[in-house]
Structure 1
Amino acid sequence: MGWTWLLEFGKKEHGENIHERQGFSVMTAVLRMSPMPATFLGSALRGTFFFAFGLWWSVRYPLKYLRRKGDAEGQPGRGRTEVFEGAVKAFFALVGILVEQFVPTGPHLHLYSPKTHSWTDLTHWHYSTIYLFFLLSGITDVVSHSPLKLPSGLDQLSLSLALLVEGLLFCFRDYSDAVLDQHLHSLLAVAIFAGALCALLEVFLRDHIILETFRTSSFLLQGSWLWQIGFVLSPPWGGPGWDQSDSSNLLFLTMCFCWHYMGALAVVAANAAASRCCNESCQLKFGDIDVELDCGLCLHRGKKSSSGALLPESSSDDK
């Protein structure tokens, strides 16, 4: 089971007693009690991060497009959502760095071990580097929409850079003889580089609904595929993963990757259709509101406008 593996692996950490470290006793207990392998949990949490952002964008961007199409007036509160997104991104990236570094089996900011004359837990440093660039992207999002007035497009450039670094690290990761593992992450790199390309194009083509939609679908694909990787390599119910030497698994997983993208497109289309129906039924101009629809306010405005239409118009004879 996954919890026994975690205990045995944690005991090997340079002869140190991990249970005496202050601040991580609760985390150690959680890892002990967890019936799921740590590899699956890590992949699932990273997948949830990307899928949540993709799901949020699949609602936000159609509403923003409808708002911009229906209201050509200035929108002074436009940057609030970007600041919120950047803060959330930076927060979760920082949490990811701390978790990767300070879990009981983590490197605790030690990159090289003078005792063994070797690198220390490069897998944790691998993910810490990815989180570091997403932390930079989140900070850039916040600062770009602050009174500092940074150049337009810098937020998308930092997102593109974070995705490029993520894809680069996955491409040159040491997979040894794990052919299936390498194939899974090669397919993941396709989704990563697709999102990076979209973000890079958005540096020059701001508020382009097609690019925003494609980037949204790539994040949904990356999130769901990270979950798939967890189920294939380290099933949550324990036991060995899929057979690395079976070539038919490669073909099936390639088809499965295409099905994942079809599902991502279905999510984007469904949320876009729901946004359009909601917009048409409420007939509400969003103003500086990006996502929230106050249907009660909509009904109130509808009644007010209908009652106003029944009032007699003033004529010139009354003057």
Structure 2
Amino acid sequence: MYCVSCRNIHMFFPPFSHLTIVSLLFRCPWTVMANFKGHALPGSFFLIVGLWWSVKYPLKYFHRKGKSSQLTHYYQRLEITEAAIRTLFSVIGVLAEQFVPDGPHLHLSQESHWVKLMNWQHSTMYLFFAASGVADMLTYLSAHTPVGLDRLVMAVAVFNEGFLFYYHVHNRPPLDQHIHSLLLYAVFGGALSIALEVILRDNIVLELFRTSLAILQGTWFWQIGFVLFPPFGGPEWDQSDHNNIMFITMCFSWHYLAALCTVAISYSLVHCFLTRVKRHGEREIIGIQKLKSDHTYQTALLGGSDED
């Protein structure tokens, strides 16, 4: 079935009601895929960032704990690179939302009607995250940037995400509203955690908490896409069934437990890796010192034999 406008449907099928028209539009393959991709794209963004943070922050913590100051410059370059990549991802998100075949193409209104406001909301979310990436780069590139500005702008970006989503699901079926509202717990929790990092900078507990919520957002965006817009033609969920709402609530808890386990496993693997590297380095140092002492001893013996 092809995508058709409401006017064309009324032209060819006058007896159809508005409810039938809506059901036809939601059966349009491209509409379904566009909505699924609209959730999969930010889900992938948050998941990649969260998994990266689950490695980066334990690395920084263990190096700070070991008082390893020689890696400070390396980590600064790493932060700049990460910020640049996050900014690039955000710009790609804006362009993807605007210039997909059925996107608004930067048209906010047309013929006294709003154009694709859902895409515009997603674009606004990505725009704030792009600003956060720029603030991160300025923090490490300019000595005049106030300390904590990067965390403040990131907190504002995450809060803006929650603010947009709060008004994103009004007048929708119960399951649709509920599955989106659950996301707000992760979003506003992340915003609060990042805001605390403005004051408590380099706090590993807050950093790992933020990481777990980023992973949760990533997996939950994908879950929303699969529930509301099944991409492979699976059966649609009954959006008014209370049992589905109960299951989705329980599923959200499972997602967060999986996110916590991911962070814990990553933390443990980083610790084991650094411990092994440290032991290997200590063995090499001991071996070199032993070789030097043996060489010194042999030199002393040769010197003594020459005197005899």
TM class by smaller structure: 0.7 to 0.9
Alpha-carbon distance between aligned partners in 2 of 1:214 and 1:37, rounded to the nearest angstrom: 32
Residue 97 of structure 1 is aligned with which of 94, 97, 111? 94
Residue 81 of structure 1 is aligned with which of 78, 83, 86? 78
In the alignment, which residue of structure 1 is the partner of 2:180?
185
| Runs of at least 5 residues in structure 1 that lack an aligned partner in the other structure | 14-31, 285-297
Q: Residues 196-243 of structure 1, C-alpha deviation per residue, up to 9 Å, x if partnerless?
A: 111111011110000000000000000001111011101111255311
User: Contact between 1:36 and 1:238, CA under 8 Å: does it hold in 2?
Assistant: no
In the alignment, which residue of structure 1 is the partner of 2:136?
141
Deviation of residue 302 (structure 1)? 3.5
Alpha-carbon distance between aligned partners in 2 of 1:81 and 1:205, rounded to the nearest angstrom: 21
In the alignment, which residue of structure 2 is the partner of 1:154?
149
The structure, 1 or 2, with the larger RCO (C-alpha pairs under 8 Å, 6+ apart) is 1
User: Contact between 1:10 and 1:105, CA under 8 Å: does it hold in 2?
Assistant: no
In the alignment, which residue of structure 1 is the partner of 2:45?
49
In the alignment, which residue of structure 1 is the partner of 2:164?
169
Residues 171-180 or 54-63, more deviating: 171-180
Letter in 2 for 1:245: S
Kindly tell me: are residues 9 and 222 of structure 1, through their superposed partners in 2, closer, same or farther at Cα, counting changes over 3 Å? farther
Matched, 1:65 2:46: no
Secondary structure of the structure 2 residue equivalent to 1:77: helix
Aligned length: 279
Alpha-carbon distance between aligned partners in 2 of 1:159 and 1:10, rounded to the nearest angstrom: 40
Kindly tell me: are residues 305 and 35 of structure 1, through their superposed partners in 2, closer, same or farther at Cα, counting changes over 3 Å? farther
Alpha-carbon distance between aligned partners in 2 of 1:10 and 1:54, rounded to the nearest angstrom: 40
Alpha-carbon distance between aligned partners in 2 of 1:139 and 1:12, rounded to the nearest angstrom: 44
Alpha-carbon distance between aligned partners in 1 of 2:186 and 2:236, rounded to the nearest angstrom: 23
Q: Which structure features the higher share of helix residues?
A: 2
Secondary structure of the structure 1 residue equivalent to 2:74: coil
In the alignment, which residue of structure 2 is the partner of 1:291?
none
In the alignment, which residue of structure 2 is the partner of 1:29?
none
Deviation of residue 311 (structure 1)? 3.5
Deviation of residue 305 (structure 1)? 3.3
Alpha-carbon distance between aligned partners in 1 of 2:237 and 2:264, rounded to the nearest angstrom: 33
Matched, 1:108 2:105: yes
User: Contact between 1:144 and 1:150, CA under 8 Å: does it hold in 2?
Assistant: yes
Deviation of residue 309 (structure 1)? 2.3
Deviation of residue 110 (structure 1)? 1.2
In the alignment, which residue of structure 2 is the partner of 1:22?
none
In the alignment, which residue of structure 1 is the partner of 2:271?
276
Deviation of residue 10 (structure 1)? 8.8
User: Contact between 1:232 and 1:242, CA under 8 Å: does it hold in 2?
Assistant: yes
Secondary structure of the structure 2 residue equivalent to 1:76: helix
Residue 225 of structure 1 is aligned with which of 220, 239, 248? 220
Residue 211 of structure 2 is aligned with which of 216, 233, 236? 216
Output the TM-score relative to the length of structure 2. Answer: 0.83
Secondary structure of the structure 2 residue equivalent to 1:160: helix
Alpha-carbon distance between aligned partners in 2 of 1:249 and 1:57, rounded to the nearest angstrom: 33
In the alignment, which residue of structure 1 is the partner of 2:293?
312
User: Contact between 1:134 and 1:162, CA under 8 Å: does it hold in 2?
Assistant: yes
Kindly tell me: are residues 70 and 50 of structure 1, through their superposed partners in 2, closer, same or farther at Cα, counting changes over 3 Å? same
Letter in 1 for 2:192: L
Alpha-carbon distance between aligned partners in 1 of 2:115 and 2:31, rounded to the nearest angstrom: 26
Give the aligned CA root-mean-square deviation in angstroms: 2.7
Q: Residues 4-58 of structure 1, C-alpha deviation per residue, up to 9 Å, x if partnerless?
A: 5xx5169999xxxxxxxxxxxxxxxxxx998972211221121111011110011
Tell me the percent identity: 45
Output the TM-score relative to the length of structure 1. Answer: 0.80
Alpha-carbon distance between aligned partners in 2 of 1:41 and 1:10, rounded to the nearest angstrom: 22
Secondary structure of the structure 1 residue equivalent to 2:104: coil
